Structure 1
């Protein structure tokens, strides 16, 4: 069974844009967590993390988005990065069936920097990503 991108919702409030996705993966949460919470994992499907201090308040630099702080960190469940100029991105992992997991994703940002299409392309790479490859 492969993964899927089930929702892509875009909202605009003034100059603030919010993208929401639900991505289902045929892997357990402990295999998906490294993809959203480690430098190697993020680089494999999203963007290099030049700095990633894995803790609440830790520094983070995501090459495509900018530098900032980790604003939510619940190991194996929630990783949220807030970066200057790039907004706030949040990955919330949940169990999905017996062996799968779901990533509830939110990206809140100002301006026209990101698009639903760009995130769909990234999530297609995440679905294809294999831990340790």
Structure 2
């Protein structure tokens, strides 16, 4: 079974842009969690994360986005990072059948920022990483 980046959408509210993705993963949530909630996991498919304190209120520094803090943390389910410049990156995991997971991803930001194709490419790398 292979995963897929099924949906990507972008919308704008005032000056805020919101990107959404739905990614189906062929592995359990517990396997996906380290990929979105640890320095090593994020580094394997996104880029080198400088800092990530895995707890609500913990410090985070994400490549290309800057510094901030962990603003939602529900182990094996939700990791959300809000950055000083106003970006919010949220990973929400759900079960998908017996052995799979669905990642619901949101990135909110002001002005220019990450693009839908950029995130789609990252999620393709995530699928490759988890399939290895």
- The TM-score with structure 1 as length reference comes to 0.95
Q: CA separation in 2, counterparts of 1:130 and 1:108?
A: 25
Q: Which runs of 4+ in 1 moved over 3 A?
A: none
Q: Does 1:81 find its partner at 2:81?
A: yes
Distance apart, 1:38 and its partner CA: 0.2
Q: What RMSD, in angstroms, separates the aligned Cα atoms of the two structures?
A: 1.3
Where structure 2 has 5 or more consecutive residues not aligned to the other structure, the ranges are: none
Deviation at 1:15, TM superposition (A): 1.3
> Which residue in the other structure is 1:110 paired with?
110
SS at match of 1:54: coil
Specify the alignment match of 1:26 in structure 2. 26
CA drift of 1:88 comes to: 0.2
Distance 1:112 1:91 in 2: 21
Deviations 1:30-52 (A, max 9, x none): 10000000000001111221111
Preserved CA contact (<8 Å) 2:23 2:104: yes
Consecutive unaligned residues of structure 1, counting only runs of 5 or more, are none
Number of residue pairs the alignment of both structures matches: 132
- Cα distance in 1, alignment partners of residues 44 and 114 from structure 2: 19
Q: How far 1:86 moved relative to its partner?
A: 5.8
Equivalent in the alignment of 1:57: 57
How far apart are the structure 1 equivalents of 2:94 and 2:75?
12
- 1:85 positional shift: 2.4
